[in-house]
Chain A
């Protein structure tokens, strides 16, 4: 895996600087004595376990853009989709723990996906060093106006509605399954490949309800083409102030998507500190804050330790809830 001219070409393109690309080539030869020079001395790869264009990818690009200015080296984003991001994470784990190989990590991969997939596909937080938490992305349940439902209570009175999810092992599936059980709603769950086809299906009233990430449905909600029913964050989403949370309605469904930056296990403390500072400086930039606003993301810029404790707690919570309500995500 030494000579991939194309990856270098991508590096060069992304940094738009031939000089940096050359540094990258030289970097392989011998950078054992990292302590002598100030970190970083060469480009830092950010691996994203999702295809280009999705919200995870856009977040990685926005944060890399800012941090690369702060660190003074290029931070090319490398997309490596597969197995909900597990593939990218496992690959990152195998990279040298020198701070030059980072990855984004979605909370659902460690908190929800293990409930739906086999042991071999599951990943654990123990296998990585978490550098910093990034943001929170909320799930909203939307309905077709033709379905004639405006609230969870309306849903309980209907029979035979179809509920779209964005796929097996996602927050959308978990949140919706929990609500159906807790509120005793009769309905059929229909998994789609991702958010966009699920939204399309609700717009056409092919399924009457779906739970998707806010960014995927906000424009349609604003245009009155989709009716927001409930948000699954514990507090009201600031971009959707009028919509009640499931917690307010009396249900115990604290499901949101969280994202964090991680590095291979065993990355030196001072390198992690430097990276953390650069991310924190990015958080303060106007460009990054504007990015969060436009993508309807709520900042959740917490430390690596907080990420670990919060996500571990969530994983346990979801496991308990699915056990309590007898939900098997594998059998939707």
Chain B
């Protein structure tokens, strides 16, 4: 029972009225900034940091943590309603979320996302409570070869989850990989595709790419559509997912939670890959995968659950190892330092009240978010009743503003416009922006870690198979890549028994 005592004491800390108030404050702010694309949790926390100087460390971190996971909830809203994924980990949500919204089922999508986020977040916290010290080691077992293998698998999943033409998905993904190479080479300092422009020295930011291709591209395309056929504003039928929807997504939520929890522990890209993997898993498991991309509720439930579980488990490296996994965690690290607490391996022993206070505040925060989201879903979906003539320019404005605030850079605004035009053209010619954006995110992860691996392994590619985790990931990679071919071969053999087809036709289909 030694273990449980500090956990229970932690609840005592959270339930103090001040802490509850700051928790509420944090999640409300988080949710609001999550709705604004661009103004992410990192920037918000940086601005609010001075406010935390005067308050108790536990209280401060409870509020900052609330901002972080509150933003994950808020981000879903723009992904579903306006096709604006604010973070890489919610790109996948756009695929089915926006389709559902177009069909008048925005309420279903947001409701399922809120429930999935709640379940994913809560399972993440339970994992954090009981497994944190054990799974922290998991993050350390991931060296460059493992990240390279994971990124490779992720890029393959990008190609398999897209709908429509595989060739077009591959072309888009290749373009994404190419864009990922822009900027200074982190190994040699050489400039690549920067054309001497300092703004490109660090490469292209994710947000302008995603905002342009998805958000602005869609707006431009719709403008053209509306000239052809006047479309009434989307009807908003139901505001709450039906029992059937819930039943349909329960499996996705369960699997998404587990995937998200484990992949979220990995700093850098963990959350993105977890949402991608959760989506791909559901599509693979589905009896009729063709529904995906056309408004499948599981397609929203799985990635949203996974990215929330990942957001929670990304606290594990910070709280148990002292490693900030992303920009937001780096700010938490800074906030803790200012409070005189050094996050590190000794945090749990030296400051149990802080550790458990923060962890337990997340249970409360998640419940608060769920309670808040449900009535808000009804309000947010009303956005869709706004006429496109008003909604489109406002969305475009928010997009530009969001892009500007990330780096306080006009250059990023120009990028949004450029990618908006590309997004429009892509849509017009039947290319999906999803594979491009995801490959873009994973491309730099793959390249840097592959090169790092080759340095560590002294150039020996066989070394990838000498390490259990990277070997497993590569086996999964080969399986995922080859399985559809085997499947179609088997199916064809069956068909061959029944009727004889010409070999030339068979060869053509296999390709």
Interface residues, chain A, CB within 8 Å of chain B? 1, 4, 6-7, 10, 13-14, 16, 51-54, 57-58, 61, 65, 77-83, 86-87, 90, 116-118, 120-121, 160, 162, 167-169, 188-193, 196-197, 199-201, 203-207, 215, 218-220, 222-223, 225, 291, 294-295, 329-332
Contacts and interface: CB of A to CB of B under 8 A. Distances in A.
Given A118-B191, A121-B201, A294 B338 contact: yes
Nearest to A76: B47
B198 A14 contact: no
Interface residues of chain A: helix, strand, loop or mixed (majority)? mixed
A86 B268 CA distance: 25
B456 A190 contact: yes
Contact of A86 (B46, B198, B327): B198
A291 B455 contact: no
Contact of B198 (A78, A120, A220): A120
A188 B452 CA distance: 10
10 contacts: A10-B47, A14-B50, A52-B331, A53-B42, A53-B333, A82-B201, A118-B191, A197-B267, A218-B342, A291-B338
B89 to A, nearest CB: 18
A54 B333 CA distance: 9
Contacts of A192: 452
A127 to B, nearest CB: 14
Interface of B: 42-43, 45-47, 49-51, 139-144, 184-191, 196, 198-199, 201-202, 267-268, 317, 321-325, 327-328, 330-331, 333-334, 337-338, 340, 342-347, 401, 404-405, 407-410, 448, 452, 455-456, 458
B319 to A, nearest CB: 11
A80 B409 contact: yes
A219 B346 contact: yes
A192 B453 CA distance: 11
Contacts of B404: 4, 6
A51 B267 CA distance: 17
A7 B404 CA distance: 10
A116 B191 CA distance: 11
Contact of A222 (B49, B317, B344): B344
A191 B187 CA distance: 6
A78 B321 CA distance: 30
List the 4 shortest-distance A-B pairs measured between CB atoms, nearest first.
Answer: A219-B344, A204-B140, A206-B143, A52-B46
Query: A61, A117, A191, A200 — which one has the most chain B CB atoms within 10 A of its CB?
Result: A200
Contacts of B199: 82, 87
Contacts of B405: 6, 10
A52 B345 contact: no
Contacts of A79: 43, 46, 407-408
B340 A294 contact: yes
Contacts of A295: 337
